[in-house]
């Protein structure tokens, strides 16, 4: 008796498992033990750095983060506020630029490369070397460069508002390369026949955006939303990441640093679950039955 043939849906499922298998194997071999050990370390205090002796302290490290540490909670709230403000701006800006670049305009390849260039320059070691060398430190970190004399004529209040706005714009310009590419891939996957039939029915560009483009782009919007959140919270210049690293390797409080890291990780994990749950009914998958 012949075996039953696999359905197309099951074949796609198996293909997905094959694609994620290298990551699962790599995670199990190289990341699972350090992750579990960091949680174990969060309930202990390092009393001997040389021989790495541990003393159990229970929930003391976690309580210290919210009760005794006067820097953690304000810094945590500030990082969350920055992510909440920057993420929607990055998503909207990336979608607008992707729609513009998807049209047949002159220099389209140049503009695509220009928007993706910060991803290459800003990746890990390259960005660190540029900042250590002092190349564009004020522009890359503090915002779009403006002469100090201009701020003197604005007054302290208005100059701070302008400075914060320019800093925000710098982050948006610097963090949109991957999102634009993903949006471009999604836009190019929409059948042209949908737009042609809509034009025949008299639909305007504005109506086609709300009725065709935006609904079919919701899976890419969700993907970019998750990516932007993770990228924002784990960025190399994120103040919370810097604080956790300094606590571990400058203050030599590795147990407390592990506790801070797990608090931060659990918050991001819960936030992503809320994103998936809240957007479940809004995402349109064209291949669904």
Question: Between residues 129 and 219, which one has the greater pLDDT?
Answer: 219
Q: Which residue has the tokens 């994120």?
A: 238
145 and 168: one domain?
yes
Find out whether 198 and 211 touch, Cβ atoms under 8 Å. Answer: yes
pLDDT band at residue 139 using 50, 70 and 90 as cut-offs: very low
Domain of 29, in residue numbers: 1-57
93 and 234: one domain?
yes
pLDDT at 157 over 50: yes
Tell me if 111 is assigned to some domain: yes
In this structure, the number of other CB atoms found within 10 A of the CB of residue 132 comes to: 9
* Distance from C-alpha of 116 to C-alpha of 176, rounded to nearest angstrom: 8
Q: How large is the average pLDDT for residues 141-163?
A: 59
43 and 122: one domain?
no
138 and 38: one domain?
no
21 and 89: one domain?
no
* Distance from C-alpha of 185 to C-alpha of 221, rounded to nearest angstrom: 12
pLDDT at 258 over 70: yes
pLDDT at 200 over 70: yes
Give Cβ neighbours of residue 287 (< 8 Å, ≥ 6 apart): none
Count of domains forming the chain: 2
125 and 190: one domain?
yes
pLDDT band at residue 138 using 50, 70 and 90 as cut-offs: very low
3-state secondary structure 58-100: CCHHHHHHHHCCCCHHHHHHHHHHHHHHHHHHHHHHHHHHHHH
51 and 175: one domain?
no
């Amino acid at each position: 008796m012949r075996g039953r043939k696999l359905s197309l849906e099951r074949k796609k499922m198996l293909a997905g498992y094959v694609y994620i298998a290298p990551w699962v194997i790599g995670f199990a071999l190289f990341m699972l033990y350090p992750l579990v050990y960091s949680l174990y370390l969060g309930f202990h205090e390092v009393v001997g750095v040389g021989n790495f002796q541990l003393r159990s302290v229970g929930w003391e490290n976690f309580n210290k983060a919210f009760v005794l540490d006067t820097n953690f909670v304000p810094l945590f709230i500030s990082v969350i506020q920055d992510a909440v403000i920057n993420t929607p701006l990055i998503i909207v800006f990336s979608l607008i630029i992707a729609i513009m670049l998807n049209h047949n305009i002159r220099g389209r390849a140049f503009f695509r490369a220009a928007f993706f260039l910060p991803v290459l320059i800003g990746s890990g070691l390259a960005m660190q070397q540029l900042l250590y060398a002092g190349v564009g430190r004020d522009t890359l970190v503090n915002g779009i460069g403006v002469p100090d004399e201009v701020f003197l004529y604005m007054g302290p209040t208005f100059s701070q508002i302008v400075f914060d706005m320019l800093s925000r714009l710098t982050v948006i310009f610097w963090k949109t390369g991957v999102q634009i590419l993903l949006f471009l891939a999604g836009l190019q996957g929409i059948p042209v026949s949908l737009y042609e039939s809509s034009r025949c029915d008299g639909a305007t560009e504005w109506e086609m955006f709300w009725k065709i483009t935006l609904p079919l782009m919701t899976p890419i919007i969700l993907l970019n939303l998750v990516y932007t959140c993770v990228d924002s919270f784990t960025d190399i210049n994120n103040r919370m990441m810097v604080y956790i690293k300094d606590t571990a390797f400058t203050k030599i409080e590795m147990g407390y640093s592990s506790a801070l890291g797990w608090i931060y990780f659990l918050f991001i994990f819960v936030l992503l679950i809320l994103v998936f749950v809240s957007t479940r009914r809004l995402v349109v998958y064209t291949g669904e039955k």
